[in-house]
A and B are shown apart, each in its own frame.
Chain A
Amino acid sequence: MAFLDLTHVRKVFAGTAAVEDFNLNIERGEFVSFLGPSGCGKTTTLRMIGGFELPSSGTITLEETDITFRPPNQRNVGMVFQAYALFPNMSVGDNVGFGMKIKKQPADKIRKRVGELLDLIHLPDKGNNYPYQLSGGQQQRVALARALAIEPQVLLLDEPLSALDAKIRDELRYEIRRIQRQLGITTIYVTHDQQEAMSLSDRVVVMSRGVMEQVGTPFEIYNYPRTPFVASFVGTLNQIQCTVVDAAKGIVAYNGQPLTPGSAVAAPNGSQVTLMLRPEELRLGPDGGENHLRGKIETVNFLGSTIRVTVNVGTAPVTLDVFNERKLKLPQVGDEYTLSFPPHACWVMPAVSS
């Protein structure tokens, strides 16, 4: 049995399943993100782990103890909310020490632990300040320290960075991961931001419409997506509608041009499939692999470390990313190019609409 187990967890609101047959085993010390668009059920699942929603069916087990119907104040699960939720009437120090005070821990122990946590979040001098005197990023750090003060078995974070501006979000993202690694706390992080999920997590659970689409490491879900939703939701994706020419040999055709993913295609000859590949796998010029597409450059966007180029290859534009180099000669809009990519860079899925 894993440290935290969710088994056939289901949640129904007014006849609609917000979470459907959710199964997940999380090991001690793991950082797992729930990633998906709004309404996919990720926050509902998190709230069921925290005890703020009761599952309609299924069980939640923490260290082999069934906590499915335990009230939230008896789960020893720390939670950080999107809206910080610091108690406005208490100072930073009192906020952080609140949980320990509830547990009737000695005052000197509370004082010591509050001091340690304020050092951990790099706010050692803010103990006497009130929440309204802090910036958003500082408030969220205090919220994190408050959740950690009770030494929870699991730390839950519900889109904690969504309310912050981009620069603060980046800084705090790495702070959260640093602290989590340092303390080794099992953490579940809910976000709709794939960059956050990919950069922070040991594993990512991609959800859509209440269903788990895929669980895997960031590398796995990015490079080996198992469903069209995961493929298109995570990262930028080129989707080329092809016709199967020879399923056994793995040959498909786009506008008469043969392409191959390098393995057999699980669809009958003549059927429509979608060939998928990431922008960074394509090369300008014929030397990038045996798959070729010919087209005219539509846009060139200089993004700093990469240049994003869209090329009209027929019915839809294809996007490719080129690493910036100082000696690089930028392609021009209207230029004709051959794009190339190796077979292993792409994969085929049943036909989806773009």
Chain B
Amino acid sequence: MKRNTWWSWFWILLGAIYLFAPLYATIAFSLKAEKDIVSSLAYRQVLQDPDFWHTFLFSIEMAVLTIIVSILLVVPTAYWVRLRLPQIRPLVELITLMPFVIPAIVLVFGLIRAYSGAPFHITNFSAGTNALLVGGYVVLALPYMYRAVDTGLSAIDVRTLTEAAQSLGAGWRTIIAQVIFPNLRVALLSGAFLTLATVIGEFTLASFLVGLNAFGPYMSQLGQNHAYESAALAIISFALTWGSLGLIQLFSRGVPGQAVVGGPR
């Protein structure tokens, strides 16, 4: 037993070193912008760069739009599949896993090919490429959002809650808005933050559709010319992702009214 405990600690330590050593190395490097002292110069230069804020806010805006479109697409779909079409659920799950299989480069080339020419010409103006970008991100985020929503729906008795609402006179819009959405709050937050983390650092779609307007390509370009700032930017991006996950944890901790439904299963 004692030997097993030692081995467990050994593997935990090894895994931790594997994960945290590069992180530590990046942090340490980012603090060496000034010779021989621990300096936050790299961080200050990044945060004072107007391009940082422009690209960061642009990517945030794309992320928010992606989240809204994803929610409006996924929630009614997942709800209807659970309620009326459980037999096609495996097919829908397979479709939502496709983005893991199709590389982003294939997706973006396909989007450009399909929508740049007649009759759409969407790539001729920035609103069009932004819309394509959001569309692409909705596809990339689909596995996360669908899984989160599906898990959220499995925690509530969708059918009985729907029938209860119907027996009280509610129509479909009221049911989705006042019964389903509020009970998916935690799941939607979870899906939203995962989508945010995916979109913020995404490179391929952004570089082909909007170039240096987005955060991912900005990070890549900065890395080519400014080593310390690039490291600082990586840490800032990492902190944003961990911050999002921390917020998921915070909001997942039993919000009043989000508890277990009674009755037998």
A50 located at the interface, meaning its Cβ lies under 8 Å from any Cβ of chain B in the complex: yes
Give the shortest distance, in Å, between B233 (CB) and chain A (any CB): 40
Task: Give the number of A-B contacts (CB < 8 Å).
Answer: 105
Pick from A79, A86, A87: contact of B163, CB under 8 Å: A79
The interface residues of chain A lying within 8 Å CB-to-CB of B160 are 81, 83, 85
B170 located at the interface, meaning its Cβ lies under 8 Å from any Cβ of chain A in the complex: yes
Contact between B263 and A163, CB atoms less than 8 A apart: yes
A103 vs B171: C-alpha distance when bound (angstroms): 11
A72 vs B167: C-alpha distance when bound (angstroms): 6
A90 located at the interface, meaning its Cβ lies under 8 Å from any Cβ of chain B in the complex: yes
A136 vs B167: C-alpha distance when bound (angstroms): 21
The interface residues of chain A lying within 8 Å CB-to-CB of B90 are none
A87 vs B174: C-alpha distance when bound (angstroms): 13
A131 located at the interface, meaning its Cβ lies under 8 Å from any Cβ of chain B in the complex: yes
A132 vs B178: C-alpha distance when bound (angstroms): 18
Contact between A73 and B167, CB atoms less than 8 A apart: yes
B50 located at the interface, meaning its Cβ lies under 8 Å from any Cβ of chain A in the complex: no
How many residues of B are counted as interface, with CB atoms below 8 angstroms from the partner's CB atoms?
A: 29
Interface centre among A51, A73, A89, A163 (most CB of B within 10 A): A89
Pick from B167, B174, B257, B263: contact of A50, CB under 8 Å: B167
A51 vs B163: C-alpha distance when bound (angstroms): 9
The interface residues of chain B lying within 8 Å CB-to-CB of A82 are 263-264
B72 located at the interface, meaning its Cβ lies under 8 Å from any Cβ of chain A in the complex: no
Pick from A81, A132, A146: contact of B263, CB under 8 Å: A81
A93 located at the interface, meaning its Cβ lies under 8 Å from any Cβ of chain B in the complex: no
Contact between B263 and A85, CB atoms less than 8 A apart: yes
The interface residues of chain B lying within 8 Å CB-to-CB of A73 are 166-171
Contact between B264 and A90, CB atoms less than 8 A apart: no
Contact between B169 and A150, CB atoms less than 8 A apart: yes
Contact between B262 and A102, CB atoms less than 8 A apart: no
The interface residues of chain B lying within 8 Å CB-to-CB of A86 are 164, 261-262
A240 located at the interface, meaning its Cβ lies under 8 Å from any Cβ of chain B in the complex: no
Considering only residues 174-202 of chain B, those with a C-beta below 8 Å from chain A are: 174, 178-179, 182-183, 185
Contact between B263 and A72, CB atoms less than 8 A apart: no
Give the shortest distance, in Å, between B169 (CB) and chain A (any CB): 4
Q: Please, which residue of chain B has its CB at the minimum distance from the CB of A97?
A: B168
Contact between B260 and A81, CB atoms less than 8 A apart: no
Contact between B264 and A131, CB atoms less than 8 A apart: no
When A83-B160, A99-B169 are in contact, do A136 and B264 touch as well, CB less than 8 Å? no
Q: Mark B151-172, 1 if CB is under 8 A from A, else 0.
A: 0000011001101111111110
Considering only residues 47-71 of chain A, those with a C-beta below 8 Å from chain B are: 50-52, 71
Interface centre among A74, A90, A132 (most CB of B within 10 A): A132
A194 located at the interface, meaning its Cβ lies under 8 Å from any Cβ of chain B in the complex: no
Give the shortest distance, in Å, between A29 (CB) and chain B (any CB): 20
The interface residues of chain A lying within 8 Å CB-to-CB of B91 are none
A235 vs B120: C-alpha distance when bound (angstroms): 75
B258 located at the interface, meaning its Cβ lies under 8 Å from any Cβ of chain A in the complex: yes
Contact between A136 and B262, CB atoms less than 8 A apart: yes
The interface residues of chain B lying within 8 Å CB-to-CB of A85 are 157, 160-161, 163-164, 261, 263
A162 located at the interface, meaning its Cβ lies under 8 Å from any Cβ of chain B in the complex: yes
When A85-B263, A132-B259 are in contact, do A98 and B163 touch as well, CB less than 8 Å? no
Give the shortest distance, in Å, between B113 (CB) and chain A (any CB): 44
A139 located at the interface, meaning its Cβ lies under 8 Å from any Cβ of chain B in the complex: yes
The interface residues of chain B lying within 8 Å CB-to-CB of A78 are 167-168
Contact between A131 and B259, CB atoms less than 8 A apart: yes
Contact between A162 and B174, CB atoms less than 8 A apart: no
Pick from A83, A91, A102, A139: contact of B168, CB under 8 Å: A102
The interface residues of chain B lying within 8 Å CB-to-CB of A139 are 262
Q: Please, which residue of chain B has its CB at the minimum distance from the CB of A87?
A: B179
B256 located at the interface, meaning its Cβ lies under 8 Å from any Cβ of chain A in the complex: yes
Give the shortest distance, in Å, between B84 (CB) and chain A (any CB): 12
When A102-B169, A146-B168 are in contact, do A162 and B183 touch as well, CB less than 8 Å? no
Considering only residues 207-265 of chain B, those with a C-beta below 8 Å from chain A are: 256-265
Contact between A79 and B164, CB atoms less than 8 A apart: yes
A77 vs B163: C-alpha distance when bound (angstroms): 12
Pick from A72, A83, A136, A147: contact of B166, CB under 8 Å: A72
The interface residues of chain B lying within 8 Å CB-to-CB of A99 are 168-169
Contact between B262 and A87, CB atoms less than 8 A apart: no
Considering only residues 126-172 of chain B, those with a C-beta below 8 Å from chain A are: 156-157, 160-161, 163-171
The interface residues of chain B lying within 8 Å CB-to-CB of A22 are none
The interface residues of chain A lying within 8 Å CB-to-CB of B156 are 88
When A73-B170, A99-B168, A150-B168 are in contact, do A89 and B260 touch as well, CB less than 8 Å? no
A65 vs B174: C-alpha distance when bound (angstroms): 26
A82 vs B265: C-alpha distance when bound (angstroms): 10
A84 located at the interface, meaning its Cβ lies under 8 Å from any Cβ of chain B in the complex: yes
The interface residues of chain A lying within 8 Å CB-to-CB of B256 are 130
Pick from B165, B169, B183, B262: contact of A83, CB under 8 Å: B262
The interface residues of chain A lying within 8 Å CB-to-CB of B183 are 87-89
Pick from A74, A131, A156: contact of B262, CB under 8 Å: A131
The interface residues of chain B lying within 8 Å CB-to-CB of A81 are 160, 163-164, 263
Which 3 A-B residue pairs are closest in the complex by CB-CB distance? A83-B263, A132-B259, A99-B168
* Interchain residue pairs with CB less than 8 A apart (12): A50-B163, A79-B163, A81-B164, A83-B262, A85-B261, A85-B263, A87-B178, A89-B257, A99-B169, A102-B169, A147-B168, A150-B169
Besides the known contacts A87-B183, A89-B183, 6 further A-B residue pairs in the complex with CB atoms under 8 A apart: A81-B263, A85-B161, A87-B178, A89-B182, A98-B168, A147-B167
